[in-house]
């Protein structure tokens, strides 16, 4: 059985990716990052999703990015916006987060002797983060193939898969439902409370809600009010 | 004063880089990684070097890479070789370590509004690690310029500098001495003891020792015996 490392935040997108990868008959090694995020309950969600979708292993790596700051998601003094901002990139952008998470996935994949890394980035219904675009993923893959002993010396080519890249939120939800994802255990909200209940107002909540509305099905998200 | 993020392991090479960057009149922000390395005393060395070379700031980031394993530097059950191996890449190679460290440097540089990152990799007197080669550094730079808000959206181009890339160990030592580096406070040995004393036998010790011999000066390294 081929192995895959799957980045798992605990949100709707990465849960869908894990279901896709499992359905492709990979042995799934899920990786989450405990980076000081405001919505820490997404890590509990990640744990439940990994179990629910039968991941072979699930690692939650502690790496405190609050020492750098620079984002509403890791700095309590910067408020999470509750309406779309005018600027291109919202303050919820976390500097280099996907680069860091993919780097850790690369390390683990090399030790596992695995050449496939999956990430749930998406460039349709998303917040405009630069590290969610196809050109970034391609550049990371090129770099990864020069970075490791396995890829650069032993010729084991690394592929960074982003299966949601060109899907709308509606299409992502449809895919996940077809594969049996239980979206009630996922947490998307940037300021979810300790129980994983969502604010319903941040970008992530609004994009998620619009996806369920477009699918014309009931949104299983738990809201604070 | 322009800012720079400088990766600082605590060894001879990165100490020399920090001196070079300071000499270029950058405000230096030194970054070290506490990753579970066997030679943990290099972190004490890093602290002393940062102070000695007047770094503006020095962060030591805890990130436990022993959860992945796969290297003699982070797995006590794999011995550090004391003579050159036949294989191309020694077991002291740590999967994706430079990728991870550069990713963290990228995050910090974006928050600092800094576009220059320095790393002490070298492709002459080195152990053959794939992530020490110029093509890897160039690929990381290309990826970095697509990864961040600063680079990809605001047009602030990131440069990954590797000023030691084409120098021999002898030339590195000469450069550092010219810039006033105190090599007695650096730790290169892969299995240095808690006091920073070197084994004298691992690859890193042998390459370092040969550099001092080639310079025809006394090696200030503290040895265990």
- Contact check, Cβ <8 Å, B96/A103: yes
Look-up: residue for tokens 């600092």? B112
- Contact check, Cβ <8 Å, A143/B142: yes
Query: Of the candidates A123, A128, A121, A126, which has an alpha carbon nearest to the alpha carbon of residue A90?
Result: A128
On the question of pLDDT at A82 being above 90, the answer is: no
What confidence category does residue A19 fall into, taking pLDDT thresholds of 50, 70 and 90? Answer: very high
Q: What is the mean pLDDT of residues B116-140?
A: 93
Residues 101-120 of A with CB under 8 A from B: 103-104, 106-108, 110-111
| B142 → closest Cβ in A96, A100, A139 | A139
What confidence category does residue B127 fall into, taking pLDDT thresholds of 50, 70 and 90? Answer: confident
For the segment B54-63, what is each residue's pLDDT rounded down to a tens digit? 999 999 999 9
Is the CB of residue A156 less than 8 Å from the CB of residue B178? Answer: no
For the segment B18-46, what is each residue's pLDDT rounded down to a tens digit? 999 999 999 999 999 999 999 999 999 99
What confidence category does residue A85 fall into, taking pLDDT thresholds of 50, 70 and 90? Answer: low
| B110 → closest Cβ in A63, A70, A111 | A70
What confidence score (pLDDT) does residue B86 get?
59
- Contact check, Cβ <8 Å, B130/A146: yes
On the question of pLDDT at B124 being above 90, the answer is: no
Q: Any chain A CB within 8 A of the CB of B142?
A: yes
Estimate to the nearest angstrom the gap between the alpha carbon of A98 and the chain centroid: 9
**What is the rounded average pLDDT for all residues in chain B?**
94
- Write a three-state SS string for B42-89: HHHHHHHHHHHCCCCEEEEEECCHHHCCCCCCCCCCCCCCCCCCCCCC
On the question of pLDDT at A180 being above 90, the answer is: yes
For the segment B74-118, what is each residue's pLDDT rounded down to a tens digit? 998 899 998 765 567 889 999 999 999 999 999 999 999 999 999
Q: What is the mean pLDDT of residues A127-146?
A: 95
Question: For A199-213, B86-100, B178-192, which range has the lowest pLDDT when averaged over its residues?
Answer: B86-100
* Cα–Cα distance, A69 to B116 (Å, whole number): 19
Nearest CA in chain A to B149: A130
- Contact check, Cβ <8 Å, A111/B69: yes
Is B223 exposed, middle or buried (CB count within 10 Å of its CB: 0-12, 13-18, 19+)? middle
Query: Of the candidates A160, A158, A120, A153, which has an alpha carbon nearest to the alpha carbon of residue A138?
Result: A160
Q: What is the mean pLDDT of residues B186-198?
A: 95
**What is the rounded average pLDDT for all residues in chain A?**
94
Q: What is the mean pLDDT of residues B128-137?
A: 94
ipTM: 0.95
Q: What is the mean pLDDT of residues A212-217?
A: 95
On the question of pLDDT at A119 being above 70, the answer is: yes
Task: Report all structural domains of chain A as residue ranges with CATH numbers, in order of start.
Answer: 3-215 (3.40.50.620)
What confidence category does residue B126 fall into, taking pLDDT thresholds of 50, 70 and 90? Answer: confident
What percent of chain A clears pLDDT 70, i.e. is strictly above it?
98
> Greater confidence, A128 or A51?
A51
* Cα–Cα distance, B9 to A148 (Å, whole number): 19
Look up the pTM and report it. Answer: 0.96
């Amino acid at each position: 059985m081929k192995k895959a490392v799957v980045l798992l935040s605990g949100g709707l997108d990465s849960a869908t990716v894990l279901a896709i990868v499992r359905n492709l008959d990979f042995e799934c090694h899920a990786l989450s990052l405990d980076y000081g995020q405001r919505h820490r309950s997404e890590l509990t969600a990640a744990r439940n999703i990994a179990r629910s979708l039968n991941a072979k292993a699930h690692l939650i790596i502690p790496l405190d990015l609050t020492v750098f700051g620079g984002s509403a998601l890791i700095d309590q003094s910067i408020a999470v916006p509750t309406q779309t901002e005018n600027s291109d990139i919202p303050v919820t952008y976390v500097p280099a987060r996907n680069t860091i998470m993919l780097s850790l996935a690369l390390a683990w994949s090399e030790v596992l002797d695995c050449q496939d890394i999956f990430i749930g980035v998406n460039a349709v219904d998303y917040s405009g983060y630069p590290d969610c675009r196809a050109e970034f993923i391609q550049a990371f893959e090129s770099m990864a193939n020069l970075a490791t002993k396995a890829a650069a010396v032993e010729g084991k080519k690394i592929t960074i898969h982003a299966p949601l890249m060109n899907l709308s939120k509606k299409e992502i939800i449809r895919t996940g439902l077809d594969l049996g994802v239980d979206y009630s255990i996922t947490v998307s909200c940037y300021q979810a409370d300790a129980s994983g209940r969502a604010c319903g107002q941040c970008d992530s909540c609004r994009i998620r809600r619009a996806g369920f509305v477009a699918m014309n099905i009931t949104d299983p998200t738990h809201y604070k009010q």
